[in-house]
Structure 1
Amino acid sequence: MLRRNSDSNYSYPLTLTLALAALVIIIAGIRAGADLIVPLLLALFIAVICTAPVNWLHRWGVSLRLAVLITLLVIGGFLSLVGLLVVNSFSTFIQALPGIESRLYERYLDLLDSMASMGLAIDPDLLAGLVEVEDGSAWLPTLLGGLGNLFVQSVLIALLVIFMLYETLNFRAKVSLALDDPAPSLQRFEEFSQTLKRYLAVKTVISLVTGVLAWLACVVMGVDFPLLWGVLAFALNYIPNIGSALAAFPPVLLLLVSQHGGVADAFMLAMAYLVINFTLGNLVEPRMMGRALGLSTLVAFLSLVVWGWMLGVVGMLLSVVLTMTLKIALDSHPETRWIAYLLGPGKEPVVAAKGFGEEPSVSERDEIT
C-alpha cells in the first residue's frame, strides 16, 4: 500500500510536467501556424452563427440544403452591401486624412504652447519635431497591400463557410458510423454546440446593437464617416476591457479637431460611448447570457493578451469567443468541469450572508458547489 501511494505521488509531478510541455508545444504550434489558423477560426465561428437561421428555416419546412443556400445568399448580400458602404466611406476618409492630420498637428502645437506658457519645462520645437506629418505616399503601398490581403482572406473565409455549412448536414451520421457507442459523444457535442451557438448569437447581437447605437451617436453629433465608426464599434466590441475605448477614440478625436466640433462636443460623444458600452456590456449582456456563460475579469484580460500574442489582431477580436469556446468544451465533460468553474466569474458565497457560526442549508451548500 505504501509503495502504491508513493508511486501515485511520484506520478503527479511527472504528469504536470508532461501537461505543461504539451501546452507549450500547442501554443508554439498555434503561433507558428497563425496564417492558416486565423481563416479557419473565422470561418468556423461564422458557420456556427449561420446554423441558427438554417435551423429556423428547417423548422418551417424548408429542406436543409435549401435553407443553407437561402442563408448564404441573404447573409452574403447583406455583408456585400455593408462592405460596399464601408469601402466607400473608407476611401472618402483616406482622401480627407491629410487635412485631418494637419488639423491634429495644429492642435498638438497649440497644446505644447499652452503647456510651455504655464511654466512647464517643455520645448515646443523639440517635441513638435517628434510628430512631423509625413507624406501619405510612404504608407499608402502598405495600406493597399493590406487591403489586397484582406480581400483574398475574405474570399477564402467565404468559401470555407460554404463548405463547413454543407458539411454539417451529414455530421451526425458520420459520427454515428465512426463510433461504437455514439450516443454519449453526440449528447456532449450537442450540449457544447447549443451553448456555443447561444453565446455567439448573443455576443453578435450585442455587438450589432453597439455598432448601430455608435453610428446613431456619431450622426447626431455630426461626426464625419459615421458608418465607418459604427462598423469599428461592432468589431471591437468582441475585444474585452479595452475594445470599447479603442472604438471611441477615433471618432472622439476626429470631432475634437474638426471645424464644427470642439471639446464640449467631443466630451458628449465620449459620454455617449460610455453609456452605450456600460449599459449593454454590464446590464444587458449578463442578463441575456447568464453567469454560466461569463468569464472572470482576470481571465478575460489574460485571454486578450494570450490570444493576441498568438494570433495577432484577429486573436484579440476573438479572444473572449475562443476562451468561452474552451470553457464550454471543458464544461461539457465531467472530468474537466472544474477547470470551467475556475474560468468563470464564480458566485458570491452564501455563507457570507448567514450569521457568523450558522451552518448553510443543503440547498445553499449545493448552490455553492
Structure 2
Amino acid sequence: MEKVVKEVRWIRLLLTIIALPIIVIILKTLKDIFVPLIFAMFLSFLFAPAIDYLRKKKLPLSIIIAIMVVSIFLFIALISGIVYASAITFLAEFPAYHQKLIMILESSLLKFDDLIASLDLSFSGFQLLEAKDLFGATGFTMTKVISGTMGTFVDASIKLFLTMFFLIFMVAETGKLEKRLKKVLTEDDKRKTWITLLSIENQIQKYLFNKTLISLGTAGMGMLFMLIFGVDFVIIAGIMLFVLNFIPNIGSIAASGFIIMISTVNYGLGWRTIGVTLAMIFTQTLFANILEPKLMGKKLNLTPIMVLVSLVFWGWVWGIVGMVIAVPLTSAINIIIQQFDENNVVSAIISGS
C-alpha cells in the first residue's frame, strides 16, 4: 500500500513538472487574453461588497452592471483628463529639458574622459556613448514618444474592452455559478470551494485597499515636497508615484528617480536636488518600510524572497502589468494550493510557514 502511495506521489510530481512549463508558455503566449481576464477577476472582487449591497436592495442585475460600468468609465475619464492636461504641459516644456539633459550628460562624459586620462587608464577599442546618440535623432525623439504613446493607447483600449466584457459576464454569472456548484459538488467540496473563493476575495480586497492608501500617501507627500522645492511636473510625478507604487520594491524607486532627474535638470547638483533626494528617501522609508508593513501585516502570507521572485516571474510573463498584479496573484495561487494540501511543499516555500 505504501509503495502504491509513493508511486502515485512520484507520478503526480512528474506530471506537475511537465505541466508547469506548458502552463507558463500558454500564459505568456495568450497574455492579451489572460491579463484582461485577471483584471476583470480583481475588479469583480473589488466591487463584490457594493454588488452584494445593491442585490440586497432588490435592484435588477442589469442596473447593477450599468452602475458598475459607468463608475469605471467615469473614473477612467477623470484620470485620463488629468494625465492628458499634464502631458500637454510636459510636451510643451520638453524641448528645453531635452537640451539641458544633453548638456548635463555631455559634461559628465567629458569629466569621465578627463578622469580616465588623468589616471592613465587604457580603454583601447572602447567607445564611450555620446549624449546626442541617446537623445538625438537616432535615440530618444518626440516622434518615438508620440508613436509609442499611440500604440500604448490602442493596446490599452483593446484590453479595457476585453476587461469590461469579462467583468460583465463574471458579475452576471455569479448567482448562476453558485446554483451549478450546488448541483455537482458535495457539501464538503462546496464548503471548501467557497472558503477558497472568499479567502482570495478578502485578501485581494484588503491588499488593494491598503496598497491604494499607501500609494496615495506616497504620491501626496512626494507632490508636497516637489512644491516646496519648486520642482516641475508635479502632477505627472504624483501619478507616477501612485501607479508605480503598486509594483513592489522597485516601482516607487523608479518614480522617485524621475523626480530627482527633473530636479537635477532644473537646478543641477545643488542644495535643492540634495533636498529633493533626501525628501524622496524619507517618503519611501516612511510609507514603504514603516507604514506599509504595519498595514499589510501578514495578510498576504508571502515571504520577502517570494515577493521578489513573483515580481520577476510575472514581470517576465506579462510585463509591467504582471509586476503590478504579481503579489495578489501569487497570494491567490498560494490559497488555492493550501486548499488541496495544507502541508504542501510549494505552499510552505511561498508562505514560509
Same fold (TM over 0.5): yes
Kindly provide the amino acid, as one letter, of the partner of residue 195 in structure 2.
Q
Q: TM-score with structure 1 length normalisation? A: 0.80
Contact 1:217 1:272 in 2 (8 A): yes
CA RMSD of aligned residues (A): 3.0
- TM-fit CA distance, 1:337: 5.8
Contact 1:52 1:197 in 2 (8 A): no
Q: For residues 190 and 82 of structure 1, what CA distance do their matches in structure 2 show?
A: 30
Alignment of 1:143-292 (within 5 A): 143-181=149-187, 182-258=190-266, 260=267, 262-292=269-299
- TM-fit CA distance, 1:23: 0.9
Change (3 A) 1:291 1:70: same
Kindly provide the amino acid, as one letter, of the partner of residue 225 in structure 1.
F
- Number of residues of Structure 1 aligned to a counterpart in Structure 2: 341
Query: Deviation per CA, 1:1-34, whole angstroms, max 9, x where unpaired?
Result: xxx4445445544332221111111111111111
| 2:17 corresponds to | 20
Match of 2:146 among 140, 148, 173: 140
- TM-fit CA distance, 1:238: 1.9
Of 276-285 and 156-165, the range deviating more from structure 2: 156-165
Contact 1:188 1:333 in 2 (8 A): no
- Structure 2 unaligned segments of length 5 or more: list them: none
- TM-fit CA distance, 1:325: 1.6
Query: Deviation per CA, 1:20-59, whole angstroms, max 9, x where unpaired?
Result: 1111111111111111111111222122222244446667
Q: For residues 127 and 43 of structure 2, what CA distance do their matches in structure 1 show?
A: 51
Query: Deviation per CA, 1:82-108, whole angstroms, max 9, x where unpaired?
Result: 211112212332333332221111001
- Structure 1 unaligned segments of length 5 or more: list them: 347-369
Query: Deviation per CA, 1:121-165, whole angstroms, max 9, x where unpaired?
Result: 599995426435224335533332222222332233234334433
Of 299-308 and 71-80, the range deviating more from structure 2: 71-80
Kindly provide the amino acid, as one letter, of the partner of residue 92 in structure 1.
T
Contact 1:196 1:328 in 2 (8 A): no
Aligned-residue identity in percent: 25
Q: For residues 213 and 158 of structure 1, what CA distance do their matches in structure 2 show?
A: 33
Kindly provide the amino acid, as one letter, of the partner of residue 33 in structure 2.
L
- TM-fit CA distance, 1:251: 1.7
Kindly provide the amino acid, as one letter, of the partner of residue 254 in structure 2.
L
Q: For residues 304 and 46 of structure 1, what CA distance do their matches in structure 2 show?
A: 21
| 1:296 corresponds to | 303
Q: For residues 215 and 82 of structure 2, what CA distance do their matches in structure 1 show?
A: 19
Q: TM-score with structure 2 length normalisation? A: 0.83
- TM-fit CA distance, 1:345: 5.1
Relative contact order (alpha carbons < 8 A, sep ≥ 6): 1 or 2 greater?
2
Q: For residues 53 and 272 of structure 1, what CA distance do their matches in structure 2 show?
A: 38
| Secondary structure in structure 2 of the residue aligned to 1:131 | helix
| Secondary structure in structure 1 of the residue aligned to 2:212 | helix
| 1:93 corresponds to | 90
